[in-house]
Structure 1
Amino acid sequence: MPVSAPVRTRNRTASDCLQVARNCTASFRYGTAWNRAVRHRGTAVALLCAALLVAGCSQNDDASSIVRTTTNIAGAGVVGLDRDTSQACPLPSAPDPSNGKTRTVTHAAGTSEVPADPQRVVVLSTSALDATCAVGLWERVVGAVPIDGPRPQPMYLGYGVLKIPAVGSAAQPDLGQIAALHPDLIIGDTSAGASGFTALQAIAPTVLADSASGWQTEFTTLAAGLGRRGAAVTALENYRAEARETGNVLAASQSQASAVRFTADQMQVQGSNSFAGQVLADVGVQRPTAQRGTSFDVTDKDLIKVEGDIIYVIFAGESGERYGRTVLRGDAWKDLGAATDKRVFAVDDTVWHGDGLTAARALLADLRGSLNGFVTD
């Protein structure tokens, strides 16, 4: 089953090292677009996994040692290939106290009378699936809308979620499929309610969060629908403490990090209103002067706006990666200081452009493995 702690790079046990090897193999077997380029190089896979074991299992790993990535995209070192998803979700949390079998929850679409401790949950957004993971209830999910890409659900949530039946798409959930699963609760966000809150409510009590309210508020609303408001408060407190500790250990305030996302034909700086921007702020990472506002698009002609001490690049699917590669291989990009210093890192779109507590904690792990690092391969 998926709980929540990345494989640490310091003082690993033998079992930890074995898990790294397994994760490395899994990354190449089930990996995203950025590692497909090396998928058919069998000997390279073996050498890369061996390098992970040697670099990651030393007895006295120095926290300030340079990061060694396993592969790269157009010069950008890939982060997160050895992510340990075996502990992505905690054990089930206890329900909030209740005077009966139901409770009233106020949410973005209205008010719903939901089970005090739901047992069969359908989720209509990745943020909702992330929330069930964060409070330990992902195994109660009987149906979920899939995401685009090679896997129906984000890799950072682990492999167990892949077995959850699909119920249409995020843009158009299938009401018939949902009803056939006999859920006692439906949760999602307002953008996932295309079929209409009334229609969903006719199948089962429904709670929809406001996706524009900020990920922490959205998580709290979804957790309340699951009867875990108390667990959500505790989980958020733990996350904030972890973010502060991460910032202190990394001396995060000494770095100006740029975050740029590529779609099929656009390049967008992830500003203060983005998920990545909010988590970076929680850690205390500084942003370049040009990036201290909300998100904005940039072009090849104004690439100076993406400059930073370190640049994180995010590719939205295969089309985003194709466009991103053309930019990263251009002379204007190569002239950036971060590119010259080999401090450009490619990160997982489902994590850095995510929307939930589990994704936020995965992003913290990515920062711990890269903020003070350099690309060496």
Structure 2
Amino acid sequence: MPLSAFVRTRNRTASPRSGPARVARRVGMVAALCGAVVAAGCSTPADDSGSIVRTTTNIAGAGVVGLERDTAKACPLPSAPDAGSGSTRTVTHASGVSEVPADPQRIVVLTTSALDATCAVGLWERVVGAVTLDGSRPQPAYLGTGVLKIPGVGSAAQPDPAKIAELRPDLILGDIPTATASFEALRAIAPTVLVGAGNSWQAEFTALAAGLGRREAAGAVLDAYHTEAADAGMAMAAKQTQASLIRFTADTDQVQGSDSFAGQILGDMGVQRPQAQRGTSFNVTPDDFATKVEGDLIYVLLAGDEGKKHGAAVMRTDQWKDLGAAGDKRVFAVDDTVWHGNGLTAARALLTDLTGTLNGFVTD
């Protein structure tokens, strides 16, 4: 029996109010599944508490993922600068060529991906200024609480050069110039690296790490990520599950395809996608749900407060409730700053979310 079919059967019978007999029966079912997918390295748990996820907080029936995320080790200890001589390095980037410190000490970041990169190579405590997010929290929760103390320098769309200059950085790191902060204006303040937009997240991370003088460290953490993703996929028998991804903004319902950040991480782990979702991202309407949104399970991304409001309304419609994944209680609401993110630290957080939910279901 395919894993997707097994999971559907299990979800229809599992209940948070199960007595000992039903718990024993579920353990027996897990044992039976292990016999069917020995190649995936499955083993029978002593009890099923670690094999079935029960989320008790939900939005319109979707279990909320990541509320208890452990961020204590999200950012490692500082990595060593790349081998070489001299106090500076020449970095070629999308906006030109810059002579930057070999080991920067006072960094200003102009994008969340740049802040994520400083975290991934252990340099976030050297960040003296960062652009901020809209909403009540200036920085993504997945990066921990320490980043909340970093002074703001405006939004990503409108960084403030005056505030940046006050912080006396020795490196400014971002992606593209903006109307308020051109490359010329920024490099007049400090050496600046702008890596450009439209790169894959891994290419952007590598370019940001080069600006930080951490190419070697970036290569090491990327290799570790790929190993972690492959191992997690094997342990979860990821190839047996087709996961659907849909993102709600204030006024759009968009399937996240293979070009999306979340879609790429699912691919790295070996999670399959429904046939309709194996191309690039596209918008859908409720009439499309049955043919283009259905999956063994559905991950829902809610873009800010307005996306949450719109998504909750959609998930209360008959078209949504008719989906098999909704009926099986296999819809999970995930952190948009992680799943629609761009960076190595976000990718690792997303892997954690996947391993905690791919074979799980939502309880009332």
Per the TM superposition, whether the score is higher than 0.5 is yes
- What's the counterpart of residue 52 of structure 1? none
Instruction: From the superposition, tell whether residues 158 and 340 of structure 1 become closer, same or farther in structure 2 (CA, over 3 Å).
Output: same
CA distance in 1, matches of 2:180, 2:76: 31
State whether structure 2 residue 224 is matched by structure 1 residue 238.
yes
Q: Distance in 1 between matches of 2:235 and 2:50?
A: 10
Alignment of 1:114 with 2:126, yes or no, is: no
Secondary structure of residue in 2 paired with 1:369: helix
1:284 maps to a residue whose letter is: G
1:188-203 residue pairs with structure 2 within 5 A? 188-190=174-176, 195-203=181-189
Aligned with residue 363 of structure 1, among 339, 350, 363: 350
Give 1:207's aligned residue. Answer: 193
Answer whether contact 2:116 2:143 (CA < 8 A) is retained: yes
284, 294, 299: which one pairs with 1:307? 294
SS of the aligned residue for 1:190 comes to coil
Give the conservation status (yes or no) of the 8 Å contact 2:256–2:263.
Answer: yes
Instruction: Name the structure 1 match of 2:304.
Output: 317
What residue is the counterpart of 2:87 in the other structure?
Answer: 101
Aligned AA (1:329): R
What do the CA deviations read for 1:238-262 (whole angstroms, capped 9, x no partner)? 0000000010010000000011110
Residues 258-298 of structure 1 deviation map (CA, whole Å, 9 limit, x = unaligned): 11110000011111111001100000000001000001011
Q: 1:298 aligns with which of 268, 284, 288?
A: 284
Which amino acid in structure 2 is aligned with residue 370 of structure 1? Answer: T
Change (3 A) 1:197 1:191: closer
Larger radius of gyration: 2
The change in CA–CA distance for 1:281 and 1:327 in structure 2 (over 3 A counts) is same
1:165 to 137, 145, 151: 151
1:241–1:61 CA distance, 2 compared to 1 (3 A): farther
One of 261, 264, 289 as aligned partner of 1:275: 261
Tell me if the contact between 1:135 and 1:232 (Cα under 8 Å) persists in the aligned partners: yes
1:1-377 aligned within 5 A? 62=48, 65-190=51-176, 195-304=181-290, 305-377=292-364
Instruction: Give the Å deviation of 1:98.
Output: 2.3
CA shift at 1:300, angstroms? 1.6
Provide the secondary structure at the position in 2 that maps to 1:358: helix
Give the CA deviation at 1:211. Answer: 3.0
Does the 8 Å contact 2:177/2:183 carry over to 1?
no
The Cα shift of 1:210 comes to 2.5
Q: CA RMSD in A?
A: 1.4
Shift of 1:376: 1.1
Deviation at residue 175 of structure 1 after TM alignment: 0.3
- 1:15 aligns to what? none
Native 8 Å contact 1:64 1:372 kept in 2 = no
Tell me whether 173-182 or 201-210 shows the greater mean CA deviation. 201-210
Distance 1:63 1:271 in 2: 32
2:324 partner letter: G
TM-score between both structures, scaled by the size of structure 2: 0.86
Distance 1:78 1:67 in 2: 11
Cα deviation for residue 64 of structure 1 reads: 6.0
Task: Tell me the residue number matched to 2:24.
Answer: none
Q: Which amino acid letter does the alignment assign opposite residue 136 of structure 2?
A: P
Unaligned runs of 5+ in 2: 1-44
Displacement of 1:148: 1.3
State the 1:82 CA deviation.
1.1
Quick one: structure 1 residues 227 and 138, their matched pair in 2 at CA, closer, same or farther if it must change by over 3 Å?
Answer: same
Change in CA separation of 1:375 and 1:192 when aligned onto 2, cut-off 3 Å: farther
- CA distance 1:365–1:266, shift in 2 (3 Å): same
Contact 1:272 1:295 in 2 (8 A): yes
Counterpart code for 2:315? L
Shift of 1:191: 6.2
CA distance in 2: counterparts of 1:194 and 1:316, whole angstroms? 25
The 1:169–1:370 alpha-carbon spacing in structure 2 relative to 1, beyond 3 Å, is same
Shift, 1:347, TM fit: 0.2
User: Is 2:161–2:180's contact at 8 Å kept on the other side of the alignment?
Assistant: no
Stretch moving more, 285-294 or 62-71: 62-71
| C-alpha distance 148-60 of structure 1, shift in aligned 2 (>3 A) | farther
Q: What's the secondary structure of 1:83's corresponding residue?
A: coil
Distance change (3 Å), C-alpha of 1:62 and 1:233? farther
Displacement of 1:302 after TM fit? 1.2
SS in 2 for 1:82: coil
Matched-pair identity in %: 71
Output the TM-score relative to the length of structure 1: 0.83
Give ranges in structure 1 of 5+ residues lacking alignment.
1-58
Q: Secondary structure at the match of 1:122?
A: strand
Specify whether residues 235 and 216 from structure 1 end up closer, same or farther in structure 2 by C-alpha distance, changes over 3 A only.
same
Shift in alpha-carbon separation, 1:175–1:286, aligned structure 2, 3 A: same
Distance 1:257 1:179 in 2: 46
Work out the CA distance in 2 between the residues paired with 1:321 and 1:238.
34
Give yes or no for contact 1:125–1:192 (8 Å, CA) kept in 2. no
